[in-house]
Amino acid sequence: QQPVQSPQAVILREGEDAVINCSSSKALYSVHWYRQKHGEAPVFLMILLKGGEQKGHEKISASFNEKKQQSSLYLTASQLSYSGTYFCGTVEEYGNKLVFGAGTILRVKS
């Protein structure tokens, strides 16, 4: 079951904040976040596990609401380098298949 991401695209100015959301209709074990810059491979940002454990980069902030099967990625004081497509991936409870959403295109302008 592919997770649903919102918004589909967002344009920011440098220094502004953004939130990218990811939701699933299935009970989740973990949520994963990746960023892909144009012409490059996706790069790992964070894993959020059921129970509260998080693995990822210190400068990235995200939340995982286990009751609502929702996750949000928080991008604060955005920089030009934040531009790219953000993908959330989910692993269902009792499953071990990582399925990605359609992505959110983020563009930061100077």
Residues forming contacts to other proteins in the complex (CB under 8 A) are: 2, 30, 32, 34, 40-44, 47, 49, 55, 87, 89, 91, 96-103
Q: Are 74 and 62 a contacting pair, CB within 8 Å?
A: yes
Q: How far apart are CA 22 and CA 56, in angstroms?
A: 17
Q: Return the number of the residue (39 or 110) whose C-beta is nearest other proteins.
A: 39
Least separation in angstroms between CB 15 and other proteins: 28
Least separation in angstroms between CB 102 and other proteins: 4
Q: Are 35 and 18 a contacting pair, CB within 8 Å?
A: no
Q: Return the number of the residue (19 or 99) whose C-beta is nearest other proteins.
A: 99
Least separation in angstroms between CB 84 and other proteins: 13
Q: Provide φ and ψ at 81, rounded to 5°.
A: -70, -10
